[in-house]
A and B are shown apart, each in its own frame.
Chain A
Amino acid sequence: MATQTQLQQTDDVTAYRGGGELLLEVKNLKKYFPVKRGILRRTVGWVKAVDGVSFFIRRGETLGLVGESGCGKTTTGRAILRLIEPDPGSQVVFYDNGRAVHITRLRSRELKAMRRKMQIIFQDPYSSLNPRMTIGDIIGEPLIIHGVARGKEREARVRELLEAVGLNPAYMKRYPHEFSGGQRQRIGIARALALDPQLIVCDEPVSALDVSIQAQVINLLEDLQKEFELTYLFIAHDLSVVRHISDRVAVMYLGKIVEMAETEELFQNPKHPYTEALLSAVPVPDPDVKKERIILEGDVPSPVNPPSGCVFHPRCPYYNKNGWEVCRTEVPQLEDITGNEHFAACHFARELKLQGVTAMIERREASK
């Protein structure tokens, strides 16, 4: 493995410039799952679900994490919380009021204490609530686990949380099956809020909801962010949602971050061909606009055996046109392309003229 280059990648990303206090810093995050075969369950290979991911989140901001299904977004989110144990060498640093806490090095007791600061909201509102517990028990459980409040005090806190997420406090005594998907998602959000966390990993929190309900939940998340000074890692594959809610966006492909920038910068001025292709797929709510879609050829390669060099090269329209050798042989580093915290991992990020969402529409209209 090219450890050397990956370290370099780490250094580049974390050489950020000012612009607010850091809350979370992820360096070289890795998670390989073993592929086992045969009676003896021998390990015959590794699924490189997350392969050297580095990024940072500032306090109070929302970082969108986008990518196709199976690109490692969810694994990244869970590895940060150590719900999935990251591989050795991964670093997750949480800045708790200026004190750097290395999440990956915590022992279980210390980790439990950190759970109060970092929470998660799940994609599926049906499987994320225990069907045998009442709403009050579900939301009140974190208070019991951490000995925060008991008896009447706990009940009062649960009521407060239910109100904060727009649910009737009288619902406390009910069971999850009595609620709709959107309401359940609110319950999940209330549970995540119970311990007054600083960071919430939102793992596709609206993907399983009706579009009309999505807007409500997104608005709720935004309101809560303001009210409780929350920081979100917002994992999603819906680019419109991500564009709406995120301050900055990171794009993942096959276990790696290929581009990361401030939201509008990324949408208007993508520096990675994969991002450009993703953006071309964003629907425009105007029937007169016929956008040119960049259709990627082939399927996402297997993360067991990712392509050499740049993992995107077999599907990259620019590589396929020009046949650059460096794309096949060298792993591109995530570098600041513009000097303005616009990171991209592409050998030709500076040379390629890629189109953002507005440019795509304009070009089409000009050629009409």
Chain B
Amino acid sequence: MSGTTGTGPVGGGAPAAPSGIPGAAPLLVVDDLSTTFSSPRGKVRAVDGVSLSLERGRTLGIVGESGSGKSVLSRSIMGLLPRSTAERTGSILFGGNDLTTFGDTEYRRLWGTEMAMIFQDPMTALNPVMKVGHQITESLRHHLDMDKATAKETAVELLRSVRIPEPEKRYSTYPHEMSGGMRQRVVIAVALACGPKLLFADEPTTALDVTVQAQVLDLLGVQQRERYMAMVLVTHDLGVVAGRADQIAVMYAGRIVEQAPTRSLFADMKMPYTEALLSAIPKLGDPPHTRLAAIGGRPPDLVNPPAGCPFAPRCPYARDRCREERPELRAVAGDPEHLFACHYPVDSPETLETKDRLAVEALMAGAPHLADRPAGPATAEGTHGR
């Protein structure tokens, strides 16, 4: 990422952001957004110079580990962070307005009708003492000024459209009477109620079983197509976004470290972190007891980020330059939509040489596993906060 210099993908001179529909202006243009929290230990830059853009009808997948800033990024755009401790710089253009200048009053006009969010835990996202129908009609009555009867009719239709069986009956039940998958459908119905143009789904299926996850993701895809919404799908699982996002941004330590249309990302990975995230997933095709390629260590302390590339301390291919000089986000030669921030991408001669050396070393040591131990002394990672 471009740090604070503002030369992100939509900044001046940088490659043009990928566009879904030729000629259509993007619905959301984030330029050099940084979100900083004040903490007793100092400033924490949770989002660091992020630039991206998104058109209606398109899905952006944001992928990263816990603490990579992916959730803070979506909450920054949604204006859901406490203004007393979270400071935003840069610009967030949404339908022509700069949201960084918006206060709660202005945001309240956007929430529900223009942008909405689906949260990870459907039990805490719903009000436990309010019938689910009422939770949908509440926003319909407030934002769209519907009368009671129309609101109820619309709510039942919404429940039906998110494939809740017997929607008339379900309208009058409480969240605790439903399964996790059903609750998440209700949360989706609440989010869709006022027809938002932009939908954030923050780990929408992490709390659900695989079978239900597949149902809910299918449902989100259908609703997005029917309503022509822009969607931001935040997840830690590259598998979830692979078949469902048009483009993917991989975040690390508050920055975008690789961003590309989904197919180019998987076909031609540049950033060692993206590669490591993908290799860490156990593969169904591998025989049992296959040693997994874990990423040693943990993300850096954002109060005192390392001087060079933030991934360098955990990167098996890091060289001296990586520890000293922060790599800027740049485009792949011949593919202006594919951006990455790495001095020695996975297909560079230097990294290929390191890979060969590591493979030989592993063979010599008789150990088929590479980086499956914490990078540094384990205690160093366990003592954050000191």
**Co-complex (A, B):** no
List residues of B whose CB falls within 8 A of some A CB: none
